[in-house]
Structure 1
Amino acid sequence: MSRPRARERKPAWLRAFIPKTSPLVVTVCEGCGLYVIEDRETVWESWDYGCVAGDDLTVAIILGRPLTRVTWLPSVGHPLLRSTCGDAGIRPDGQYLAMHMCHLARISVKPFKPPSRERPPGKPWGGPKLSKQEIAEFKRIWDMPYSQLKHEKTPANKVGRGKK
């Protein structure tokens, strides 16, 4: 049995959105030839790859399309799909995928954007604090040619010892 041919180009962002370690798989629908996301964790379901949010969410509800919530797992670097119970599990600030229905237009084709990491505004990184002497020593070594650097002996108390 041969694989079905795609009628469209695969969006580049799908490779980053669903890595090989994910239980989700990007395949081509056998009926219509469009790319779909299959959830193969429990019951196999097919979802359109466009991110449904904002006004598109209203359209999906009016059309009665089943939705699944996309939850991003930063620890593993891939999404997890959580089913919603009709309109009850839908929140306006969420991102969803619409169930794939062959030969019907997609609700959305927007790419999914993982949430940015939370960091309080105005706070610097807060890395190690270096003295002016340590910064000057770093600059001196940084600008030194490699041929001279490999013969240089640095005292252990000057570089890499930071304040404790």
Structure 2
Amino acid sequence: MSRPRASERKPPWLRTFVPKSSPLVVTVCEGCGLYVIEDRESVWESWDYGCVEGDDLTVAIILGRQLTRVTWLPSVGHPLLRSTFGSRGIMPDGQYLARHMCHLARISVKPFTPPKRDRPPGKPWGGPKLSKQEIAEFKRIWNMPYSQLKHEKTPTNKVGQGDEFQALF
């Protein structure tokens, strides 16, 4: 049996959206010849590759198309699809994929853009500054055996960081 031929060009951003390590697979629909994203993690489902958000989300709800929420996993570099139930679970700031319906137009062909990182890689966090006394106390407690640690009393003094107060434990 031969593979179905695609009736369209494969969008280049799909290679980064669905890498080889992902449980998602980009295939060609046998019925209409369009590229679809198949979720092969549990139940095999086909989704159109366009990112549904904003006004397209309203169109999808009006047309009654089933949606799945795209959750980007930065640690592994690929998305995870989470089912929504009707209009429940749909948030206006989310990104979704619409269920593939053969021979019907896609709701969207907008490429998926992963969320921006909170900070550029390689830059320091810039969190609270610790004094040498606090670092020494942390190291002492960190290196203490558990049997000794459970008999240790919690210190009553609090260490201040400007207007904030932090307890050591």
- TM interval, shorter chain, is 0.7 to 0.9
Q: State the one-letter code of the partner of 1:81.
A: L
Task: Return the alpha-carbon distance in structure 2 between the equivalents of residues 16 and 24 of structure 1.
Answer: 12
Alpha-carbon offset, residue 119 of structure 1: 3.4
1:91 maps to what in 2? Answer: 91
The alpha-carbon deviation at position 88 of structure 1 amounts to 0.7
Map 1:4-83 onto structure 2 (within 5 A). Answer: 4-83=4-83
The whole-number CA distance in structure 2 between the counterparts of 1:29 and 1:116 is 32
Within 1, Cα distance between the matches of 2:106 and 2:99? 9
Identity %: 85
Quote the offset at 1:126 in angstroms: 4.2
Q: Structure 1: state its 5+ residue gaps.
A: 128-164
String of CA shifts for 1:82-118, please: whole Å, max 9, x gaps.
Answer: 0001101100000000000000000000000000011
Q: What is the 5 A alignment of 1:88-127?
A: 88-119=88-119, 125-126=123-124
Q: How many equivalent pairs are there?
A: 124
Q: Give the ranges of 4+ consecutive aligned residues of structure 1 lying more than 3 Å apart after TM superposition.
A: none
Structure 1 CA distance for aligned equivalents of residues 11 and 104 of structure 2: 19
Q: How far, CA to CA, are the matches of 1:64 and 1:14 in structure 2?
A: 25
Aligned to 1:38, the other structure's residue is in SS state: strand
Indicate the RMSD between aligned Cα atoms, in angstroms.
1.6
TM-score, L = length of structure 1:
0.73
Letter aligned with residue 58 of structure 1:
T
CA–CA distance in 2 between the matches of 1:119 and 1:87?
Answer: 33
What is the one-letter code of the residue matched to 1:40? R
Letter in 1 for 2:79: P
- Residue 108 of structure 1 aligns to a residue whose secondary structure is coil
